[in-house]
Structure 1
Amino acid sequence: MKRSLKVILLSFVAVLLMIGCSAAKKGGTFEGVGSGKHGDIKVAVTITDGAITKIDVLEQDENKVLSEPVYEELQDMIIAQNSADVEAVSGASATSEGYINAVKDAVEKSGITLVAAKKSKQAKEKEQIPAEQDFDVVVVGSGGAGFSAAIEAAEAGKKVAILEKLPAIGGNTLLSGGEMNAPGNWVQKKLGIEGDSVDIYYQDTMKGGDNVGDPKMVRLMAEKALESAEWLRDDIKVEFLPDQLFQFGGHSFKRALIPVGHTGAELISKLKMKADELKIPVFLNVKAEKLIKDDSGKIVGVTATDREKRELTFNAKDAVILTTGGFGSNVEMRKQYNKEYDERYHSTDSVGTTGDGIVMAQEVGAALTNMESIQTYPIANPKTGMISLLADTRFDGAILVNQEGKRFVEELERRDVISKAILAQTGGYCYQIWNDDIDAISKTKEAHKAEYDELIREKLLVKADTIEEAAKFFDIDVDSLKETLTKVNAYAKAGEDKDFHHRAGLVSLEKGPYYIEKAAPSVHHTMGGLVINEKTEVLDESGKAIPGLYAAGELTGVIQGKNRLGGNAITDIITYGRIAGQQVGAMK
């Protein structure tokens, strides 16, 4: 009897302890991990009385400018619902899913059952944008062209707004390497590079586009290129590397300035800081739908929708400036204008690059040109289509070989030429090879560590001490590859590439360790779009300017011709974005 009573008492105490532990375990901070676009996302989730009160990101390799607003939006949603069962943010699904899964992992590890959230409309109502707003200038798109235009207009005294359909700013500018061509720049002078000029840059660009670009527009870009670069450096405070330049394919000189970090994040973050200083509002998750015309035919605003599909009106007293980019991520639109670029091709572009501005302008009578001209970037991730910035070593001596271990094209040829050459090889892919000597020049491994780790993880990149080991990893014909490297080393020593006439001169690959990266072409830039003049006014089919409508950047079709040379996009968007802003800023 005593024994039975003792057992009952012990059991009762155990139950009390369990209840006590359960009651106590309603709070704390717990870590969780999820897989994002570029690797693991690690978070710390704070739970108080069964409710998520805070989420901190501890580690991540996502694009910082792109991910921060996504994390903020998701944190608000999760806390409001007290649940990680929320939808991914449109336009950033991989990053969203990694963050959401990390939070779920943390909650699961906590062992806490979350309490049901109280329904509240307060947060939602607080975030709502007024249904109608008045501005002098409305800029559609928050990439380099959009920010440049908005800043110039605001500095001229105009009340400006920027509309962005995605949850984060930046567009293709953010995803790019951010390099910018400018003949006669300060780094060329420091490095002792002489002989470059506006004329040579103009000729390179015209030739690179098969002389299809509008000569007067290309000439204006060439003449304003250095001024645009100096504006970024001096006014926007963009930092460029002081002692390094890239020579992209088709260029006669090393003339491309490189931002710190080797990505467009430096440009976009500094442009946003300047916009904040000027108190320019940026409306995220707001998709421009249609241009508004008055009775005289002038464009006087934009209708838009927010993420709740509410209809919004942004009136523009002076002008609307379209800077929405091209249509590289719109497969149907690509096929409409060039059937070659169908579903077989991935895209390096932002998911928002779907041709919206082109379509909106066309609906009010804008003329289009050169729409069939679509460019692929030759060295992209064959699984995802993302541009490989790690592979910028190609501009400093890395070589391209096929599955058989043989070179097949000059590595500094035009992008379209290299892409077509790659697609003609076994499997439609290639391998890029470099060593530490080349990487020491390019510094890409240090600048793009997240991409390096991702490619290693995906088995699309190998580092090996010997070329035999590297070749074995990808099943490349090792004897043929060794023969190729022997030639390359000899040509590097002699200063003459007898096979493909490498315009910058080959670099020795005698020493390991070696890096071999698998790559394939991916749709990168659409050269066609709206017809604009030197004032960036959008023209109609008869060649007349549509009053109140301006455009700059990739959605215009008169500058790059049949093929855009590397480093010309940033020069284009900054130069013509500024011109658009200056034009509307001068309006009385």
Structure 2
Amino acid sequence: MEKSVTRRNFLIGGAAVSGIAALGLVGCSSTESSSGTPTAETGSDQVITPTYPAYARTLDVTEKDIVRTEDADVVVVGSGSAGTFAAIRAAERGAHVIWLEKTTAKGGTSTITEGLTAFDGEQQRATGEASDLNGIYTALMDWHNWGAKTEAFQTYFDFSGKAVDWAVSHGASLVYSGNPKKPHYSPVDAQGNWMNIGTGVLTPLWEYGETLDNLDFRLETPAVNIIVDNGTVKGVYAQEADGIVRINAKSVIMATGGFASNVDMGKEWLRVPAERIKFMSFEGQDGDGINMALAAGAARHAPTTVNYGLTTIEGSAWDSQLTIFTVWCPSWRVDMPDAILPAGKPLPFVNHAGVRFYNEAKLEELNTSMLNTAVSSQKAAFAVFDADHVATYGGFGDFNYGSGISEGDFAKECENSPAVFVDDTLEGLAAQMGIDTTAFTTTIAEYNDHAATGTDADSFGTMPGEKTPVLKAPFYAAKIVACAYGTNGGVSTDYWCRAVNSDGDIVEGLYAAGQDNGSMYFNDYPYGLMGGTCQGGACTTGFVCAESACDALGL
């Protein structure tokens, strides 16, 4: 397939791969061929589709399970940003699309997200300022230790602006930031008030999609298995109330949102204990799209990658006063004048052993992976503070994303949270935390000494002037938990978002978008370096999957 656009000349190589992987029909039976590949058997109970590892949320399908067969040009699995852009764009181009969503509502986690990053859109071009794509590419690849796929960034740079322009032309409200170094787009209403992507972007697209007669959207209809015939994907099996429906299709686009809800899959793939990460994604992100793609012969890419957000206090919202004035110090207040927000120095963090484990002065928004990885690598982690700190951060007004000011009562949140321990002595506090008293009191004494005199050599790079001493009773400790929006590791794809196998050959008929597509990652999500690339990538890959599938159909 020829590309309809010219790739950026700042990159080299990345030629589109071709060819069909000779994978054979993957089945489940008691016999195997001489090559070790399971072979099909005859009979009404024959299993006719791939099987999966124990953590997969999929079903084996037999002939007797199938209540009817349908045909489509394209099946899209998932209805977040990636699935929305894929399904509606493909239908707009004339494909008969069956669009499946396993839950009771459209959108998934995408509905609550804040904005996206895209390059070379109409609004950016109107400013006359182009992004330094060469520099941005190099910075992102450095972030990922050059383990991300070059063609994935080519796709993103070539199509993200087109995807945004297409969405805006169909009613989405996205406003360009004006910063070509970080070309972020925020959804806003007619009065300029911020909206989430669900309201500002997806809802207008869904309303447009309802006008397309060739778009068949189905809620509570999970794809439970994939149809593979001689290495080519031929459709999916979907579960409806009356049984399994076989949907024959020329193209299948997986956009199920990653595997944040699948703890067992996280245990298998992630580099840190998955059960120690608080995923803020919605239920249903079970990795089924990724697992179906792998069963069809696709290779995985960057499986350990996590979309880390801002670390939080256990049981509290990421934007609560309790989280802001314990964990975020000084990240959201570092540039604010003392007259508005005094101090802004970080608190000491200690682990289950009662010792420090991190340079608390590192600004969290610069590398959310760093602190979250450190926290999730501990059996327990706590921010420690005193009465003076509680008094300092009481009484601020409405929360503002620019300054970090929030509405609420910090002292009452400390008092009411089961994740906050308080005592008149450090020894008593250690007992409540369940940690070693001697180690904890020694740690805090050394921390306070370094805050005052700079004599502590073991400071992880934290300078004396960057520390908040813990001196005045009562003393507090708030339990910190790692926090993430979802996972980023997934299927390996080519420039056109077609799934590829471990040899780089295309798995015909199969595409991956959004968080099912891991190609733009290797290390964790680059939150501070280039925030908005997760949603930007989801919209872009969904759009490109539609373009690619429709090109293959000759539409």
TM-score by length of 2: 0.62
- Go from structure 1 to structure 2 and tell me whether the alpha carbon gap of 1:444 and 1:278 turns closer, same or farther (over 3 Å shift): farther
Q: Name 2:202's counterpart in structure 1.
A: 268
Question: Is 1:168 aligned to 2:128, yes or no?
Answer: no
Counterpart contact for 1:181–1:257, Cα < 8 Å: yes
- Go from structure 1 to structure 2 and tell me whether the alpha carbon gap of 1:418 and 1:533 turns closer, same or farther (over 3 Å shift): same
Counterpart contact for 1:400–1:431, Cα < 8 Å: no
**Secondary structure at the counterpart of residue 516 of structure 2:** coil
Q: Name 1:568's counterpart in structure 2.
A: 533
Q: Name 2:545's counterpart in structure 1.
A: 580
In structure 2, which of residues 478, 487, 498 is the aligned counterpart of residue 537 of structure 1? Answer: 498
What is the alpha-carbon distance in structure 1 between the residues aligned to residue 486 and residue 523 of structure 2?
Answer: 11
Counterpart contact for 2:493–2:517, Cα < 8 Å: yes
Alpha-carbon offset, residue 440 of structure 1: 4.6
Task: Map Cα deviations across residues 46-79 of structure 1 (whole Å, 9 max, x no partner).
Answer: xxxxxxxxxxxxxxxxxxxxxxxxxxxxxxxxxx
Q: Name 2:353's counterpart in structure 1.
A: none
Q: Name 2:118's counterpart in structure 1.
A: 182
Alpha-carbon offset, residue 415 of structure 1: 1.7
What is the alpha-carbon distance in structure 2 between the residues aligned to residue 370 and residue 313 of structure 1?
Answer: 31
Question: Is 1:321 aligned to 2:267, yes or no?
Answer: no
Counterpart contact for 1:348–1:524, Cα < 8 Å: yes
Counterpart contact for 1:206–1:212, Cα < 8 Å: yes
What is the alpha-carbon distance in structure 1 between the residues aligned to residue 269 and residue 79 of structure 2?
Answer: 26
Alpha-carbon offset, residue 577 of structure 1: 0.8
The aligned amino acid for 2:233 is: I
The aligned amino acid for 2:362 is: V
Task: Map Cα deviations across residues 343-400 of structure 1 (whole Å, 9 max, x no partner).
Answer: 233222221111101111122222223223345334245227x755998995674775
**Secondary structure at the counterpart of residue 340 of structure 1:** coil
Question: Is 1:401 aligned to 2:362, yes or no?
Answer: no
| Rg larger for | 1
What is the alpha-carbon distance in structure 1 between the residues aligned to residue 533 and residue 491 of structure 2?
Answer: 18
In structure 1, which of residues 246, 252, 255 is the aligned counterpart of residue 183 of structure 2? Answer: 255
Counterpart contact for 1:429–1:521, Cα < 8 Å: no
In structure 1, which of residues 322, 332, 350 is the aligned counterpart of residue 264 of structure 2? Answer: 332
What is the alpha-carbon distance in structure 2 between the residues aligned to residue 254 and residue 361 of structure 1?
Answer: 33
Question: Is 1:341 aligned to 2:273, yes or no?
Answer: yes
Q: Name 2:297's counterpart in structure 1.
A: 365
Counterpart contact for 1:422–1:429, Cα < 8 Å: no
Counterpart contact for 1:323–1:552, Cα < 8 Å: yes
In structure 1, which of residues 434, 442, 455 is the aligned counterpart of residue 402 of structure 2? Answer: 442
The residue correspondences of 1:63-462 to structure 2 (distance < 5 A) are 131-175=68-112, 177-183=113-119, 196-240=131-175, 253-260=181-188, 261-266=194-199, 267-279=201-213, 280-294=215-229, 296-306=230-240, 308=241, 310-316=243-249, 318-338=250-270, 340-380=272-312, 382-383=314-315, 388=319, 394=331, 397=334, 401-402=347-348, 407-422=360-375, 427-430=380-383, 439-440=399-400, 442=402, 459=417
Alpha-carbon offset, residue 258 of structure 1: 2.4
- Go from structure 1 to structure 2 and tell me whether the alpha carbon gap of 1:132 and 1:426 turns closer, same or farther (over 3 Å shift): closer
What is the alpha-carbon distance in structure 2 between the residues aligned to residue 517 and residue 189 of structure 1?
Answer: 47
Alpha-carbon offset, residue 460 of structure 1: 8.8
- Go from structure 1 to structure 2 and tell me whether the alpha carbon gap of 1:411 and 1:133 turns closer, same or farther (over 3 Å shift): same
The aligned amino acid for 2:402 is: S
Which protein is richer in helix relative to its size?
A: 1
Q: Which has the higher contact order (CA 8 A, sep 6+)?
A: 2
- Go from structure 1 to structure 2 and tell me whether the alpha carbon gap of 1:456 and 1:530 turns closer, same or farther (over 3 Å shift): same
What is the alpha-carbon distance in structure 2 between the residues aligned to residue 138 and residue 427 of structure 1?
Answer: 44
The aligned amino acid for 2:94 is: G
What is the alpha-carbon distance in structure 2 between the residues aligned to residue 196 and residue 326 of structure 1?
Answer: 29
The aligned amino acid for 1:401 is: L
What is the alpha-carbon distance in structure 1 between the residues aligned to residue 318 and residue 518 of structure 2?
Answer: 22
What is the alpha-carbon distance in structure 2 between the residues aligned to residue 300 and residue 389 of structure 1?
Answer: 48
What is the alpha-carbon distance in structure 2 between the residues aligned to residue 184 and residue 456 of structure 1?
Answer: 46
Alpha-carbon offset, residue 568 of structure 1: 1.1
**Secondary structure at the counterpart of residue 304 of structure 2:** coil
Residue correspondences, number? 415
Identity %: 22
Q: Name 2:29's counterpart in structure 1.
A: none
Unaligned runs of 5+ in 2: 1-65, 189-193, 335-343, 351-355, 421-432, 434-443, 452-460, 464-476
Alpha-carbon offset, residue 142 of structure 1: 0.5
Alpha-carbon offset, residue 554 of structure 1: 1.0
What is the alpha-carbon distance in structure 2 between the residues aligned to residue 399 and residue 230 of structure 1?
Answer: 42
What is the alpha-carbon distance in structure 2 between the residues aligned to residue 426 and residue 287 of structure 1?
Answer: 36
Task: Map Cα deviations across residues 201-253 of structure 1 (whole Å, 9 max, x no partner).
Answer: 2223222222210122123313433333333333342344x6698xxxxxx94
- Go from structure 1 to structure 2 and tell me whether the alpha carbon gap of 1:198 and 1:179 turns closer, same or farther (over 3 Å shift): same
Q: Name 2:466's counterpart in structure 1.
A: none
Counterpart contact for 1:287–1:305, Cα < 8 Å: yes
Counterpart contact for 1:136–1:158, Cα < 8 Å: yes
Task: Map Cα deviations across residues 70-112 of structure 1 (whole Å, 9 max, x no partner).
Answer: xxxxxxxxxxxxxxxxxxxxxxxxxxxxxxxxxxxxxxxxxxx
Counterpart contact for 1:378–1:416, Cα < 8 Å: no
- Go from structure 1 to structure 2 and tell me whether the alpha carbon gap of 1:301 and 1:216 turns closer, same or farther (over 3 Å shift): closer
- Go from structure 1 to structure 2 and tell me whether the alpha carbon gap of 1:319 and 1:196 turns closer, same or farther (over 3 Å shift): closer
- Go from structure 1 to structure 2 and tell me whether the alpha carbon gap of 1:426 and 1:130 turns closer, same or farther (over 3 Å shift): closer
Q: Name 1:80's counterpart in structure 2.
A: none
**Secondary structure at the counterpart of residue 325 of structure 1:** coil
